[in-house]
Structure 1
């Protein structure tokens, strides 16, 4: 029985087996023993170590896709020698394929040292690297409206197309697959918050932009109004970053004793088995070699992605596609295409083994890592770009046009609805892919919201409107 105080009210048991609220506040930080265990695991203690030469050999021979590394210098030469844009595009796209594959291989190897959850976080961050580089390139070039569209495009690509394809291929041999129920619930909240954070500035703008065109320009399309929206955007960005960092701390080091770096009790059984296997499997790459090679690969990806982005600009300049379709659909798809090619290769290998009557054992664990990609991009990289724009004096707004808001809200609603029961199947994968194709088809005919284009300029709004007016006047004359 519990104890009572002098007033007859029940008191909290503060025994070691039942920590008090005050004690529990300090339990979210890893204790020394947990840190020691993590550090020992990172150093590979108790397992067979791979030396420097063996690590490099395994990295080189990890996949036949490494033969595509020959295109890396060719793509750079094509850029500096001013080859045709199509040649630069193809060569640099092919150069990204082995780098994306290297991210997957080294990410899996680092999971042996970091554990499944931290390893997944590393892989998610690496897989977002090309899209993050793309966003930073557009920021530095002051393509702010295109940057906004691309951010939305990356989010819906990883919410709809990528997990949709994964659910179709993974669920082809299973009645249904399982998601991590605990992470799914948290992901729903995080994803909804990221979307609602974009709804707030748009709703505020819509409430102001009413009346005649002259009234709208006087109330909204001016530098004072944009300054207010910049303050709102930067405040929201800071809060989103804090939420994302807090969620990572909660996931990877939840409150309670002996919970640090351990799988959640409600995790699917297959995930717990995988975690145990990661703890005992001998690595093929030394942890420090993996870190150094990853840093080099990230630098190569950053430069190669820049050449790739520059090579596709001719499509927009020659008006072959609208800027909205170029940002929402084309650029995100191109940035993900190398990683998608790697996935297609692995899927082709599975199909070949099936034809040879050597199919792999079907897994009950659904691959929904791409949803985490969207969450990280919405709650970390998008706010990061806003704050980087603040630092570099580029006015990046979280104020999107209504069509982009509708697209991202609808995508969030559909994904949350499909994953609400923490189970998926191939039919639900088709639903996600079909909705992405609907968005792509609709966006083809969408020309954008003109006032959003005026608000997303590096120059002052007044100067842009005056320059546009004089240009129209000159054209009329």
Structure 2
């Protein structure tokens, strides 16, 4: 086992340390730091288990597993924050997860892959279908904000009802995109699976799906998947309990915390995976992973949070900050322009990363 593979195992030590920090009252700073470091390896194990289960169960069931657990860490943190009443941070985290997937994940992949290969190719249909769906999602998310900005009287109940209707439509659209990619037009998405070891993520040789060994390992990875999910929930609860006071201590607004800080913590595994795939010149899978993450957040995670918020008495709607809507529109536009051609190079990656950095600085200085 290499040093890179040991990292997720070594970082697991912060799970008992974070529990000790909470039980023994070591202070909010210690809880914030140790729970953050504990979430990182758990996110990696959760992502790895999701991938392994998807490999064994095949494209149809595997696609559903990816849909449910592909962004589980971000969803769990958002649910814990919503339960604590941190609505501003939760809304901002939706924006941040989409920006991270479209600009940071894809930008890192195109830059690192472009440094090894002069030019890389991928199926334009992947960017076209996902780009069109993301455009619809951004328009839908922007509607409540536009209604408020163009109205003299703001009716909170009307905005809430509008958000619920839009959320229901987005969930249906996400289900239809799964049907399109996994069933009716699955041949367009035959991008293959990475069977080599991904740096920093534990990996084992995959047996044939029909073998007993394969199904025995399936149960192992299901246990890892469920255990990681529960552990992420516990660590997220501790993390969310102190995040507001700790970010205020460093002068960070809830907007910046949700848009930049939370996605950086919750999607470490995603960064490792897309960079490694790009270095292997598997850009079809890389683009599919990055754009698929953004679709999952926009069409499923955000609507689910709206419905859950109503159910637990912490109402959240799609009335985003106007600047957040503008940032999402910029991210979708830039990503579509760069990816629709089906080719990428290091400069394309640099442009995506530059867009993310500029937006990040703008969110830092935004007074919201």
Counterpart in 2 of 1:115? 58
Structure 1 segments (4+ residues) deviating >6 Å: 281-284
Spell out the pairing of 1:221-236 with structure 2 (5 A cutoff): 225-236=155-166
Counterpart in 1 of 2:239? 308
Picking from 110, 123, 137, the partner of 1:180 is 123
Would you say 1:374 and 2:294 are equivalent positions? yes
CA drift at 1:234: 0.2
Counterpart in 2 of 1:294? 225
Higher relative contact order (CA 8 A, sep 6+): 2
CA drift at 1:406: 0.5
Whole-angstrom distance in 1 between the partners of 2:361 and 2:59: 38
CA drift at 1:300: 0.6
CA drift at 1:332: 2.5
Whole-angstrom distance in 2 between the partners of 1:71 and 1:249: 40
Deviation digits for residues 231-262 of structure 1 (CA, Å, limit 9, x no counterpart): 1000000000011011112211116xxxxxxx
Distance 1:385 1:193, change over 3 A: same
Would you say 1:331 and 2:262 are equivalent positions? yes
Distance 1:428 1:75, change over 3 A: same
Picking from 99, 103, 109, the partner of 1:166 is 109
Deviation digits for residues 188-240 of structure 1 (CA, Å, limit 9, x no counterpart): 1210111000221122111114xxxxxxxxx22xxxx0000001000000000
Whole-angstrom distance in 2 between the partners of 1:340 and 1:245: 23
Unaligned runs of 5+ residues in structure 2 are 196-204
Contact 2:111 2:350 in 1 (8 A): yes
CA drift at 1:343: 5.7
Counterpart in 2 of 1:249? 179
Counterpart in 1 of 2:202? none
Whole-angstrom distance in 1 between the partners of 2:93 and 2:189: 36
Larger fraction in helix: 2
Counterpart in 2 of 1:443? 363
Whole-angstrom distance in 2 between the partners of 1:341 and 1:188: 20
Whole-angstrom distance in 2 between the partners of 1:341 and 1:251: 23
- TM-score when scaled to structure 2? 0.85
Spell out the pairing of 1:71-470 with structure 2 (5 A cutoff): 71-115=14-58, 119=62, 122-123=65-66, 125-209=68-152, 219-220=153-154, 225-254=155-184, 264=187, 267=190, 271=192, 280=208, 286-318=217-249, 320-336=251-267, 338-339=268-269, 362-363=281-282, 365=284, 367-368=286-287, 369-448=289-368
Spell out the pairing of 1:30-69 with structure 2 (5 A cutoff): 63=6, 65-69=8-12
Please identify the structure whose Cα radius of gyration is greater. 1
Contact 1:155 1:408 in 2 (8 A): yes
Contact 2:63 2:182 in 1 (8 A): no
CA drift at 1:174: 1.4
The alignment of Structure 1 onto Structure 2 pairs a total of residues equal to: 352
Report the secondary structure of 2:150's partner residue: helix
Contact 1:112 1:279 in 2 (8 A): no
Contact 2:134 2:295 in 1 (8 A): yes
Whole-angstrom distance in 1 between the partners of 2:230 and 2:107: 30
Whole-angstrom distance in 1 between the partners of 2:140 and 2:251: 33
Contact 2:120 2:281 in 1 (8 A): no
